[in-house]
Amino acid sequence: MTRPPFPTAVIFDLDGVLVDTARFHLAAWRRIADELGFEFDDEVGEALKGVGREAALLVLTRSGGVELDAATAERTAQRKNRYYNESLATLDASAFLPGAEAALGWLHGRGIPIALASASRNARTILVACGIEDRFDAIVDGTSVPLAKPDPAVFLAAAAAIGVDPSEAIVFEDAIAGVDGALRAGCRVIGVGDPAVLLRAELTVPDLTGVDWPALMGRA
């Protein structure tokens, strides 16, 4: 299938793209590393982004040379989620990252299909807290697709849910795992963050204010 000249749909990652929650995930993982007695390394922090909770714990413990049995790993992942949820308790619309609310409004106003593709099982809580649940034509998260990024499953499910071929969708991602998963799904990808980190994205913007939506989508 030949790619249309402009994307016909947009798929957003949530944490670190639309809302400023990536730092809460990192703070919770840092606390776990402290408890397990090793130092949290910022490079490992990048590798944890976009990765599902249990897989992220494994990446973290390996980085610290620690091995947990299955029961301890499960309890540790639950504890991390408790710490994370403590920081979500006060979350509201002030957590939007720059340009996020305007982007959703612009796309929604033109009837352009919007999907969420997040590895998080807390995604819906966050959307509700920020009052943007109704902006999405489809919400695919860690509760609906167990295979986390870089597996392409979450992006394939998101494209299918809004009725487009993955090649017609443009994905916004702040995680290396997310960029790779979206590319594997056959989507176009714009990185949100540091171009030196998100090397495989076709373009990287510091935040969504850096996107010229009419030019990108071929719409006035």
Residue 108 or residue 121: which is nearer to ligand G6P going by CB? 121
Catalytic residue among 13, 141, 151, 180: 13
**Residue 48 Cβ vs ligand G6P, minimum distance, rounded to whole Å:** 5
Q: Is 175 in the site for Mg ion (CB under 5 A)?
A: yes
Q: Rule CB under 6 A: which residues touch ligand G6P?
A: 15, 22, 25, 48-53, 56, 81, 118-122, 142, 175
- Token pair 């109704």: residue: 134
Looking at 99-107, 136-144, 175-183, 198-206, which segment touches Mg ion (CB under 5 A)?
Answer: 175-183
Catalytic residue among 15, 141, 151, 180: 15
Whole-angstrom distance, CA of residue 109 vs CA of residue 67? 50
- Residue 13 is among the residues annotated as catalytic for this protein: yes
- The closest alpha carbon to 209, from 112, 133, 100, belongs to 100
What Cα–Cα distance (Å) separates residue 168 from each residue in 48, 115, 119, 142?
28, 13, 21, 23
Looking at 65-73, 134-142, 173-181, 186-194, which segment touches Mg ion (CB under 5 A)?
Answer: 173-181
Instruction: Say which amino acid occupies 108.
Output: H
Among Mg ion, ligand G6P, none, the one that 183 touches (CB under a kind-dependent 5 to 8 A) is none
Q: Is 46 in the site for Mg ion (CB under 5 A)?
A: no
Residue 138 or residue 175: which is nearer to ligand G6P going by CB? 175
Element (DSSP H or E) covering residue 192: strand 188-192
Instruction: Look up residue 207 and give its two tokens.
Output: 């935040």
Give the phi and the psi of residue 162 in degrees, each rounded to 5: -105, 10
Cβ count within 10 A of residue 220: 5
Q: Is 15 in the site for Mg ion (CB under 5 A)?
A: yes
Q: Which residues are catalytic?
A: 13, 15
